[in-house]
Amino acid sequence: MRTTYMAKPGEIDRKWYVVDATGIPMGRLSTVVASILRGKNKPTFTPNVDTGDNVIVINASKVALTGNKAETKIYYHHTAYAGGLKERTAGDFLAKEPTKLIETSVKGMLPHNSLGHKMGLKLHVYAGAEHTQQAQKPEVLDITNLI
């Protein structure tokens, strides 16, 4: 009798990938990166185990916002004080904190529990073309054929 394979945390082989965000729409970039972080691109995917890989996103400041999203898409956060609801547009967010914009988009596509938090820690976003993970020998991942 065959049983379904369930990955165990000690058996997981993790890779490092570099993704260049230049000119790629933010939503399409986020879905591919979230899928890799979750491990859905592997045949050993197990929903209750973190089987994903590490992802480095470079050139986050050059990501594309399609349509009128730069002016109409609004991000909200609350300061926990009365009347403390703050809002900013996606264009303003991209101009001031491009790394946080990508992180917010990708982490919103991961599970909202402790396992999703562990997956989100494997995301490394940089506004420019340089990153500090050269020692991990990351592979360049061309996502233009995945979107």
> Per the structure block, which two tokens stand in for 138?
């990351």
pLDDT bracket for residue 4 (50, 70, 90): confident
In a domain, 62, yes or no: yes
In a domain, 32, yes or no: yes
Query: Across all residues in the chain, what is the average pLDDT?
Result: 94
Q: What is the pLDDT of residue 95?
A: 95
Domain that holds residue 130: 16-66+96-145
CATH code of residue 50: 3.90.1180.10
Buried (b) or exposed (e) across 52-91, using 16+ Cβ within 10 A? bbbbbbbbbbbbbbeeebbeeeeeeeeeeeeeeeeebbbb
In a domain, 58, yes or no: yes
In a domain, 25, yes or no: yes
In a domain, 9, yes or no: no
Q: What is the pLDDT of residue 145?
A: 83
In a domain, 88, yes or no: no
- Per-residue pLDDT tens for 43-89? 999 999 999 999 999 999 999 999 999 999 999 999 999 999 999 99
CB 125 within 8 A of CB 99: yes
Q: How many domains does the chain have?
A: 1
